[in-house]
Structure 1
Amino acid sequence: MIKRTILYLLIAVAVSSCENDIQAVMEFDSKKAATENGVDIITIFSQGGKVNAKLMAPSMERSLDKPSYVAFKNGLKVFMYNDTLGLESTLSAKHGKYLEDEGDVFLSDSVIVINKKGERLDTKELNWDPKRKIFYSTQEVFIKTPTDSLHGWGLEANEDFSQKKILKVSGPITVQDSTAALN
């Protein structure tokens, strides 16, 4: 009889100790439900039936909380194409974040852009403003062309990096002799 009473008492204690705080469970579920994760990401961007870009990333996290965003914490690589699917430029970074409501993109840590002319941009941070259709940075930038190397702080460039402007140039700049073509 004593053994049976002790057994019932232990079962009652065990069952009552397993109670969860409903508020804590709801908070945990809402945080968990507000995030989507993916691995081995490949995304094709198109507009008007034409492919513009292809994004590849080992992982992605999408937050559904406001402001909603998509984060690439383990790097990403983007291939940008022209109207005939010719490769215009490639972009890579160790981290990226896309703000879904605004459409803005923020890239950081070892950002590299190489265009079809073989020009290479290296910077710690690069942003894309889709409304103005430009890339920009306020950080230190290095641009290497087949004939020159440029260094400075701040950058504005069009979407295919065919036109770019360093805001504060530093170091020597090589200028071609315009009269050489006349001789």
Structure 2
Amino acid sequence: MTRKFILFILLTGIMAGCENDIQAVMEFDSKKAAVENGTDIITIFSQGGKVNAKLTAPAMERSIDKPAYVEFKQGLKVFMYNDTLGLESTLSAKKGKYLEDEGNVYLSDSVVVINKKGERLDTKELNWDPKRKIFYSTKEVFIKTPTDSLHGWGLEANEDFSEKKIISVSGPITVQDSVSTQ
């Protein structure tokens, strides 16, 4: 009988010591539920019924806590199209982050953009401002065209990279004469 009583006291003590704080459990569950993960991502972007871009990525993480964001820690590639689904440019980066409330996109680590003219942009960081509809960077940039190589710091470019401006150019520049002689 004493053994049973001692066993009962021990079990009661153990059970009382194993109590969970319900608030802590709910906070843990809400943090766990606030992140969505996906693999083998393919996203089609369209506007007005026309496809204008396709994003592919091996993995994606989406946080729905404020500020909500989507993050691509294993890289991403974006194909940008014109109105007739002709490929305008491709963009790739080893990391990317999209802030949902702002609409801003931050790309980093080996960012490469190639447009349909064969021009290539290489930089460590590239950002997208949807309000101004421009890509920009404050980091070192390299632009290779079929005829030139440009280097500098800082960049602003339109959505399809057909127009771009290096903020601070470094190195030799070849300027082509706009007036042809016959």
- TM over 0.5, shorter chain: yes
Identical-residue share of aligned pairs (%): 82
Superposition misfits of 4+ residues, deviation over 3 angstroms: none
User: Structure 1 residue 19 and structure 2 residue 19: aligned?
Assistant: yes
1:4-153 to 2 correspondences below 5 Å? 4-153=4-153
3-state SS, counterpart of residue 91 of structure 1: strand
Question: Which residue type is aligned with residue 105 of structure 1?
Answer: V
Shift of 1:177: 4.4
Structure 2 unmatched ranges of 5 or more:
none
Shift of 1:137: 0.6
* Aligned twin of 1:156: 156
Question: Which residue type is aligned with residue 50 of structure 1?
Answer: K
2:51 and 2:176 map into 1 onto residues whose CA distance is 37
Aligned residues: 182
Question: Which residue type is aligned with residue 29 of structure 1?
Answer: D
3-state SS, counterpart of residue 167 of structure 1: strand
Structure 1 unmatched ranges of 5 or more:
none
2:32 and 2:12 map into 1 onto residues whose CA distance is 32
- Offset from partner CA, 1:7-44 (integer Å, 9 cap, x none): 22232233222211223212212211222121111110
- Offset from partner CA, 1:93-140 (integer Å, 9 cap, x none): 111111111111111111110111111100011011111111111111
3-state SS, counterpart of residue 175 of structure 1: coil
Shift of 1:178: 4.8
3-state SS, counterpart of residue 28 of structure 1: helix
* Aligned twin of 2:181: 182
RMSD between aligned alpha carbons? Answer: 1.4
2:47 and 2:61 map into 1 onto residues whose CA distance is 24
TM-score by length of 2: 0.94
3-state SS, counterpart of residue 71 of structure 2: strand
3-state SS, counterpart of residue 23 of structure 2: helix
TM-score by length of 1: 0.93
1:106 and 1:154 map into 2 onto residues whose CA distance is 15
